[in-house]
Amino acid sequence: MLISFTQSGGFVGLMKHCRVDTTTLEPEERTRVEALVVAAGWEASWEKFSEGRDRFQYEIAIERETTVHVTCDDSCVPPEARPLVSYLKAHAV
């Protein structure tokens, strides 16, 4: 599984990126990341933004058998997907 993540926006407008290739992770970490993806429940691509300024925006692509693209701001991330987004944010530079 390959996950591409971009965070943009916010008050300063900085961009951060990361790519996570689960085939290169240690087995425990790979299991953890794949479980976060499953828990997020993103089976289809979608886009959603709320009104307001200075919100972080996320672009996430998850490549498995098919590719799912999710584009949203921080207030539109579903609760079940927040752990995945937190993981990706922690690994973004």
Q: What is the pLDDT of residues 5-31, one digit of tens each?
A: 999 987 777 899 999 999 999 999 999
CA–CA distance, 50 with 67 (Å, rounded to integer): 24
Given this model, what pLDDT does residue 13 score?
A: 75
Measured between alpha carbons, how far is 48 from 40 in angstroms, rounded to an integer? 15
pLDDT at 53: 77
Task: Say whether 15 sits in a helix, a strand or coil.
Answer: coil
Kindly list the distances between the CA atom of residue 48 and the CA atoms of 1, 14, 20, 67, in Å, as whole numbers in the listed order: 24, 20, 23, 18
Residues in the chain: 93
Residue 21 pairs in a beta bridge with 2
Task: Identify the band that residue 76 occupies on the pLDDT scale cut at 50, 70 and 90.
Answer: very high
Looking at residues 76-93, what average pLDDT do you find?
A: 97
86 — phi, psi (to 5°)? -60, -45
pLDDT 10s digits, 31-43: 999 999 999 999 9
